[in-house]
Amino acid sequence: MLLPRRADLAQPMRARVCTRAQQAATARLNVPIDYGSTSILSHTASSALSNAELPSAVRGGTTKRMNLFQAINSALGHALRTDPRVILFGEDVAFGGVFRCSMNLATEFGDARVFNTPLTEQGIVGFGIGAAMEGLRPVAEVQFADYVYPAFDQLVNEAAKCRYRAGNLADSMGCGGLVVRMPCGAVGHGGLYHSQSPEALFTHIPGLRVVIPRSPIQAKGLLLAAIECNDPVVFLEPKIIYRAAVEHVPEEPFTLPLSKAEVLKEGSNLTLISYGTPLYLCRAALDAIEKETGASVELIDLRTIYPWDRPTVLDSVKKTGRCVIVHESMVNAGVGAEVAATIQQGAFLSLEAPVRRVAGWSTHAGLAFEKFNIPDTVRIYDAIKQTLEF
């Protein structure tokens, strides 16, 4: 199985990549993402409504152009409107939130359901756990993911273990109604404490679901699913696309499945896996590679980082034999490590090349160095190319 594929696919590919890449050397790869044209977003109503994961009633409905914060706002508004158990709180949530995600919600639903808390992350998450234990469905906001650490004990020792330790009493003593939202990721100038993506710290914690949406449609559907879910959910929102990513979003409420990856583009030569913002860069890099080499790259959005969709990823890599994983947070013990190790064990005989990880380096988010630190189109392009040529 291994040898024939190397011979008939990889070798000719290597030749093609070399010649065409040389020809293309003048074309810039690290250009700003054109959110107005990227195929990651739905630029028309029909593309938004053709999503097979949407219920048929939603697919027959209308859409509205929204950016990511507006999609979050729309989801929160719907949840508050339809479920009296939903409450929304955190630092500066009442006036609309520092990223405008809770705009107008306090006005519509009142101070009892949308309110500010004192400035205490351990208090916010602990308060949310208690409210969930007593039957509410609290949506707590941590202002930046960088500031979730004071609440780490509450998330790891309490939220994640609440159902487990309650045993038979889990249905009435768990905190499954809890969602903890937090803006994450690099934003160009966030420095050490406005740039972090701590998702891998939570993927090590059974009991928590960790979700990161890539776009307004995804944010709306996944957030509504998170609020409905009876497990506590850590919901990370890539803040750089709060305003940048605009697409047609179905106006009707809908949910998208948790713990289910999505194949954004089918391909046969390499599996490219990511989540959140880097998907836009992945798309640009694979477009360049495909144009130059004729290789076919499969792009997968994990969406839920834990418990993650192992079967979809393994099926894809068994088909393509090659894999590159991309994430913004540092490479050491990052999500890529778990994905790569799972592939190594679950698809060993199919692998034609080492699984590559393109991620932040093992350092902090130094202000002036951001563009060298997090993955860019060049690094993703180069990793794909080297993996194809291996």
Partner 1 sequence: MSRYLLRSISRRWASSISQRPGATGINFPGAVNSAFTNTLRFANPNDSTSMPTYRVLDQDGMPSHPIGIPTDELLRMYRDMVFISVLDVLMFDAQRQGRISFYMVSAGEEGIAVGSASALSAADPIFAQYREPGVFRYRGFTADEFMAQLFATAADSGRGRNMPVHYGSRKGNIFTISSPLATQLPHAAGAAYAVKLANANADQNQRVVACYFGEGAASEGDFHAALNIAATRSCPVIWICRNNGFAISTPTLEQYRGDGIASRGVGYGVETLRVDGNDVLAVREATLKARELALQDSGKPVLIEAMSYRVAHHSTSDDSFAYRAKVEVEEWRRRDNPIARLRKYLQAQGLWDDGKEEELRKGTKKEVLEAYRRAEKARHPPVREMMTDVYEEFTEEQIQQLEELKDVVKRYPGEYDLSRYEEGIGGFTAR
Catalytic positions are 121, 194
Of these, 149, 243, 307, 318, which contacts partner 1 (CB under 8 A)?
307
State which of residues 40, 41, 88, 132 lies at the interface with partner 1 (CB under 8 A).
132
Chain centroid to Cα 282, Å, comes to 13
Q: Residues 11, 15, 62, 164: which binds partner 1 (CB under 8 A)?
A: 164
Sole window of 21-29, 51-59, 155-163, 290-298 interacting with partner 1 (rule: CB under 8 A): 155-163
Question: Could you tell me the two tokens for 101?
Answer: 């995600």
State yes or no: residue 163 binds partner 1 (CB under 8 A). yes
Determine phi and psi for 54, rounding to 5 degrees: -80, 145
372: left (phi over 0), alpha (psi -120 to 50) or beta: alpha
Q: Which of 81, 165, 291, 371 binds partner 1 (CB under 8 A)?
A: 165
CB 61 to partner 1: min, Å:
30
> Does residue number 130 form part of the binding site for partner 1 (CB under 8 A)?
yes
Considering only CA atoms, which of 380, 362, 360, 17 is closest in space to residue 185? 360
Question: Judged by CB under 8 A, which of 111, 354, 361, 369 binds partner 1?
Answer: 111
Residue partners of 217: CB distance under 8 A and separation at least 6: 42, 48, 51, 71, 247, 248, 249, 250
**Least gap, CB of 126 to partner 1 (angstroms):** 2
89 - beta bridge partners? 115, 140
* Binding residue for partner 1, selected from 128, 183, 238, 321, defined by CB under 8 A: 128
Record the tokens describing residue 86, joined without a space: 């939903």
CA distance 381 to 378: 5
345 near partner 1, rule: CB under 8 A = no
Determine contact, residues 229/204, Cβ cutoff 8 Å. Answer: no
Amino acid at 37: S
Q: Contact between 104 and partner 1 (CB under 8 A)? A: no
Cβ–Cβ under 8 Å, residues 350 and 318:
yes
CB distance 275 to 212 below 8 Å:
yes
Structure tokens at 71: 């999609």
Binding residues among 191-210 for partner 1 as defined by CB under 8 A:
206-207, 209
**CB of 122 or CB of 344, closer to partner 1:** 122
Q: Which stretch binds partner 1 (CB under 8 A): 153-161, 242-250, 280-288, 291-299?
A: 153-161
- Find the part of the chain contacting partner 1 (CB under 8 A) among 43-51, 129-137, 218-226, 379-387: 129-137
User: How many chain residues bind partner 1 (CB under 8 A)?
Assistant: 53
Q: What is the CA radius of gyration of the chain?
A: 21
What three-state secondary structure class fits 368? helix
Residue 222 beta carbon to partner 1: minimum distance, rounded to whole angstroms: 17
Cβ at position 2, least distance to partner 1 in Å: 25
Q: Does 154 bind partner 1 (CB under 8 A)?
A: yes
The answer to whether 285 touches 324, Cβ cutoff 8 Å, is: no
Q: How far is the CB of 299 from partner 1 (least distance, A)?
A: 22
List of residues contacting partner 1 (CB under 8 A): 87, 110-113, 115, 117-118, 120, 122-136, 138, 150, 153-154, 157-158, 161, 163-170, 172-174, 176, 206-207, 209, 229-231, 259, 307, 310-311
